Amino acid sequence: MADYRPGLNELPTYSVEEREWEIKIDANESSFNLPPLVQERLMNRLAGLAFNRYPDIGMKGLKEQIAGNFQLRSDNVLIGNGSSEILEKLFHAYGGGGRSIVFPAPSFSMYDIYAKLSESRAIPVQLESDYSLRPDKVLAAARDSAAKLIVLCTPNNPTGNAMEEQDIEYIVQQAGCPVVVDEAYIEFHGRSAVDLLNRYANVMIARTFSKAYGFASARIGYLIAAADIVAMLGKICMPYHVNALSLAGAEIIYQMRNEFAPYIQQTIGERRQLAAALEELPGVTVYSSVTNFLLVKFTQAGRVAAVLAEHGIGVRDFSSVPGLIDCLRISIGTPAQNDRVLKIITGCRERG
């Protein structure tokens, strides 16, 4: 038997069902490829790339653009391979050696995995039955465990709801440790906690290009935080950890981010329509969402997922996950895809 480090064998694998779905609405990706004008500029930029050279180690181009948008400096920005890399680095930087990290549950499943991977003590704080997160519970959990980091996820995956701004501020203000706000879906909500950066040195904002900007293939995410935090995290990143192709693409996308506004609006409109239509069906509860996905509770959720799968439609099945029993997470697709999903679910309900 190979002698791996303790705990590795027991570590859960991040599992996704590898299938060629006809309609893939299981990972909260954008259902739209990049807008044609963005694709064209991106291809032109790639054509001029020095493929033989390492990327710019300072990632100045993208950092300056992001910093400029928030009236910050480029040393307030850390770029990563998706926000996944950023989050993983945070768990390693603040956790380890059994130190505690507080995060909501149910939420993004990787928080628990990063806690284990970094040999930190995971302190999940359960959401209420309406999936809200109580700030007093978060603060009590952090205090009792002498937490070194609090992770908030707003809007939350997979529940789709967002925290109140004053609740985020209260946690940041009262916490005796850093707080990272995972804003992976913020473009669909629009109410970011980013302004807190001007007032609190312990707040950090993590974002991604994988959702609203439809660039999941390239794995680009970023953190905005105080310069000393960014510098410390930089120490635990590999040299040249973000590749030049993804960086070049992200620069174009960020420059052209207004091009994405109509797609974001369309997704929001489609989400509202799909939610309203699903709510009409018997045995269905739709949780309110400010994201590009819906969490939906069904009587016989497993059967609904199976029928969708028979039709080549992949959704995320949480039906046997504690806290999410009988729930499926359905990402918003194109209008035609959403119509088809609705039709199949309706048929499935009518047959009982």
- Pick between residue 28 and residue 338 the one whose CB is nearest to ligand PMP: 28
- Pick between residue 108 and residue 298 the one whose CB is nearest to ligand PMP: 108
In angstroms, the CA 153 to CA 149 distance is 13
Task: Tell me if 216 contacts ligand PMP by CB under 6 A.
Answer: yes
In whole angstroms, how close is the CB of 216 to ligand PMP at the nearest point? Answer: 6
Task: Tell me if 267 contacts ligand PMP by CB under 6 A.
Answer: no
In whole angstroms, how close is the CB of 336 to ligand PMP at the nearest point? Answer: 24
- Pick between residue 80 and residue 135 the one whose CB is nearest to ligand PMP: 80
In whole angstroms, how close is the CB of 331 to ligand PMP at the nearest point? Answer: 10
Are the C-beta atoms of residues 135 and 149 closer than 8 Å to each other? Answer: no
Task: Tell me if 213 contacts ligand PMP by CB under 6 A.
Answer: no
Task: Tell me if 330 contacts ligand PMP by CB under 6 A.
Answer: no
Task: Tell me if 314 contacts ligand PMP by CB under 6 A.
Answer: no
Q: Quick one: which of 161, 210, 246, 338 contacts ligand PMP (CB under 6 A)?
A: 210
In angstroms, the CA 195 to CA 175 distance is 17
Q: x/- string (CB under 6 A) for ligand PMP, residues 67-106? A: ---------------xxx----------------------
Task: Tell me if 153 contacts ligand PMP by CB under 6 A.
Answer: yes
In whole angstroms, how close is the CB of 115 to ligand PMP at the nearest point? Answer: 15
In whole angstroms, how close is the CB of 295 to ligand PMP at the nearest point? Answer: 12
Task: Tell me if 249 contacts ligand PMP by CB under 6 A.
Answer: no
Applying CB under 6 A, which residues contact ligand PMP? 28, 82-84, 108, 153, 157, 182, 184, 208, 210, 216, 221
